[in-house]
Amino acid sequence: MREHETTLDYARRYRELGLWPIPLPPHGKQPPPTGWQHLRLQEWAASADANIGLLTGIDGFCVIDIDDADLARRVLAANPELEKQTTVVHTRKGLHIWLRSQRPPLSRSRISKLKVDLQGLTDEGKPRYVVAPPSEHPGGGTYGTIDGSIRAPLQVGDAEAFLLGLLVAAGCEAKLLPTAPIGTAPEHGSRREARTLVESLPPSLIRLFEEEPGEDWSAALWRLERGLCEHGASEEDAFRICFWAACNKYRRDGRRAKELWQEVTRAFAQEGDHPHKEAQGGLDIRQISEWMQEEEVEWLVEGLWCDRAVGLCLGAQGSYKTWISLDLAVSVASGLPFLDRFRVHRQGPVVLIQQEDRPGEIANRIALIYQAKTGSYVHLNGRRLSGRLPSPPLRELPVYLIPWGFSVAQKGWEQRLEDILRELRPVLVIIDPLYAVGLDVKDWGASMSTELMQPLKRLRELYGTGFQTLHHQSREALKTGTDRPRMGGLGSVLIGASSDAAWAVDRRGSEEEVKLTAEDKTKGPMPPQRAAFTIDRKKGVYRVEVKAAEWTLDDSLAFYQEAGQATTAELVEVSHLPERTARYHTEKLIDMGKLTRKKTGKRIVIVAQGRLPETGHEM
């Protein structure tokens, strides 16, 4: 039972706390375009279906908006008393934390690399607003607090400093980016004045100022802004130069100068934080020891696909490629095991660029897979697949679909995709199929490498996103099979050469069993997996049974020889053999004189003797 039962009761309580409620339509987040300012409270809040918004920036009232469920849980765990000190509203994806600050934020202050905002005043000094309890979200769910009560906003001296403290306590390394000051940007002056400022700059920056970029306007403008920062220009001079630069995307798009000013101030604040250190030629150049400090390549899906890999999923028509890619999408988005067996190491949003099947067909497949993984039941598009909703419900699964319109032949495709990555921060993007993205089918390989894979790798470095593209296997690979999936794609060998990783999906005849062979540039070929699919969409059945890998004694010997020294537990982790079988293989190879035991400290490891055997193996 809520403490304040009706919309009107909530609105009156907000006024008692010195807050300013505004009307929002039922299940909506946007206020009516005109006229609502003149309505009395009783006239709009009396409706039981009305949503409520609260104006921010008035009398110091501001709201921390965390739009990330995992980060929200960490913040609450690190600050257990927070929900007793102020109103903490649980939203569809995160939290709203209410504050009253002596120094309210001058605009919407963002936290670098995190989905966190501080809602206060706009950069013109006008209020913003947030949706408040007991409103209902357009996508389902209700804005509310844990116990239904509404508390006065927590009094703080500096809202930005308070927010930073919350994030540090939650284990985040972040800093507030400066925002545009209230009012207008500095005077941009004339082009002649900007040209005078540019004359003393390096040739690479002069080219950025004078030459219009091909497609990537954002990257060109960012390089100019960062180059000016590194060259010692003031923020005001950098703004004047960027305003008249040929790569100024804001002036090209008819946007206001203050948006450019805000980006310039952020570029200056991010000195040393940008993923690339730009040299004068626009290339990422570092002393070799810096690259050795890069993070080690880690798994996204244990033993099958590396995190942030840009690669392929190859197979013939009807080989379950799409089903496997959708199972991967659901697993990454939910954190549930891939094919009900393989652990997912990084959970997060997934974007599907699916231009072969109808959107409704893809949505129903996603629902069926999610139903099977959760052991629960879902409703989709008003159709009742079964009786109860899963927890969490399907509508909260962060899988996003782009059903058409994605083509590398269209000018500006990379920028449009980058805008999506910047907003959603997906862990993985799946492109299905390759032939539908606008590449020249007569030149698969060279064009794919330069027009698709290289731009995707650039986006990977900027946003930490991996990409998997579905494609057909070559005729030779279909005939003979392959344990090197990267080299088995239809078209030029450059397709494989430009890929970090690849899967080969092989389904023979009318069998429901497929063989999944994985390869990664860094980790090498992985042992093949066999999975039997049982799919009956009419009955709502989706079942996958992964069978034991065909791992031989030679495979175990090859593993130890490639590792140099390892343990039986590590053999089990890589091979997925039962522990008893792995121990048998190890003891057998020791008896054959191929391996020996060695004590290192308190550990006993297995050391390989000699070279790889002449017999074939399926590593």
Averaged pLDDT for residues 15-28: 83
Averaged pLDDT for residues 64-72: 87
Which SS3 state, helix, strand or coil, does residue 544 take?
strand
pLDDT > 80? residue 253 = no
Other beta carbons within 10 Å of 148: 13
Nearest Cα neighbor of 471 from 332, 302, 319 is 319
Of residues 516 and 618, more confidence is placed in: 516
β-sheet bridge partners, residue 299: 306
pLDDT > 80? residue 64 = yes
pLDDT in tens, 172-184: 766 554 444 444 5
- CA distance linking residue 335 with residue 361, whole number of Å: 23
Contact 451, 408 (CB under 8 A): yes
Token digits for 547?
């069978």
Nearest Cα neighbor of 204 from 186, 183, 226 is 226
Token digits for 405?
């319109």
Averaged pLDDT for residues 439-468: 76
Which SS3 state, helix, strand or coil, does residue 157 take?
strand
What band does 129 get if pLDDT is binned at 50, 70 and 90? Answer: confident
Q: How large a percentage of the chain has pLDDT more than 70?
A: 73
Other beta carbons within 10 Å of 304: 21
The amino acid at 291: W
pLDDT > 80? residue 112 = no
pLDDT > 70? residue 528 = yes
Non-local CB neighbours of 122 within 8 Å, separated by 6+ positions: 57, 107, 108, 128
Non-local CB neighbours of 514 within 8 Å, separated by 6+ positions: 319, 320, 324, 505, 506, 507, 530, 531, 533
pLDDT > 70? residue 496 = no
Nearest Cα neighbor of 519 from 619, 378, 400 is 619
pLDDT in tens, 431-445: 988 888 877 655 555
**Alpha-helix residue ranges (DSSP H) falling in 231-287:** 235-244, 249-252, 257-269
Averaged pLDDT for residues 461-482: 72
pLDDT > 60? residue 411 = yes
pLDDT in tens, 331-358: 999 888 898 888 888 888 999 998 888 8
pLDDT > 60? residue 616 = no
Task: Establish whether the linkage from the previous residue to 392 is cis, with ω within 30° of 0.
Answer: yes
pTM: 0.47
Nearest Cα neighbor of 531 from 519, 539, 543, 518 is 543
pLDDT > 80? residue 288 = no
pLDDT > 90? residue 584 = no
pLDDT > 90? residue 105 = no
Domains of the chain: 7-169 (3.30.2250.10), 191-285 (no CATH), 304-547 (3.40.50.300), 553-608 (1.10.10.10)
Burial of 415 (0-12, 13-18, 19+ CB in 10 A): middle
DSSP secondary structure string, 188-201? Answer: ---HHHHHHHHTTS
pLDDT in tens, 355-404: 888 888 899 899 899 888 886 444 343 333 333 333 456 777 889 999 88
The DSSP output letter for 111 is: B
pLDDT in the model for residue 318: 80
Non-local CB neighbours of 10 within 8 Å, separated by 6+ positions: 4, 21, 45, 52, 132, 133, 134, 150
What band does 328 get if pLDDT is binned at 50, 70 and 90? Answer: very high
The amino acid at 300: L
Of residues 490 and 218, more confidence is placed in: 218
- CA distance linking residue 511 with residue 184, whole number of Å: 67
The DSSP output letter for 309 is: -
pLDDT in tens, 138-167: 767 788 888 888 999 998 887 887 888 888
Averaged pLDDT for residues 474-501: 59
The DSSP output letter for 152 is: P
The amino acid at 94: G
Which SS3 state, helix, strand or coil, does residue 593 take?
coil
Token digits for 46?
């009396």
What band does 428 get if pLDDT is binned at 50, 70 and 90? Answer: very high
- The percent of the chain in helix, strand and coil, each rounded to the nearest 5, is 35, 20, 40
The winner for highest mean pLDDT among 25-34, 232-241, 494-503, 526-535 is 232-241
Burial of 262 (0-12, 13-18, 19+ CB in 10 A): buried
| CA 388 to mean position of chain CA atoms | 29
**Alpha-helix residue ranges (DSSP H) falling in 388-522:** 413-424, 446-448, 454-463, 475-480, 494-497
Could you tell me how many residues make up the chain? 619
Which SS3 state, helix, strand or coil, does residue 536 take?
strand
DSSP secondary structure string, 394-428? Answer: GGGS-EEEE-S---TTSTTHHHHHHHHHHHH--SE
- What CA–CA distances, in Å, run from 81 to 89, 91, 131, 171? 14, 19, 23, 17
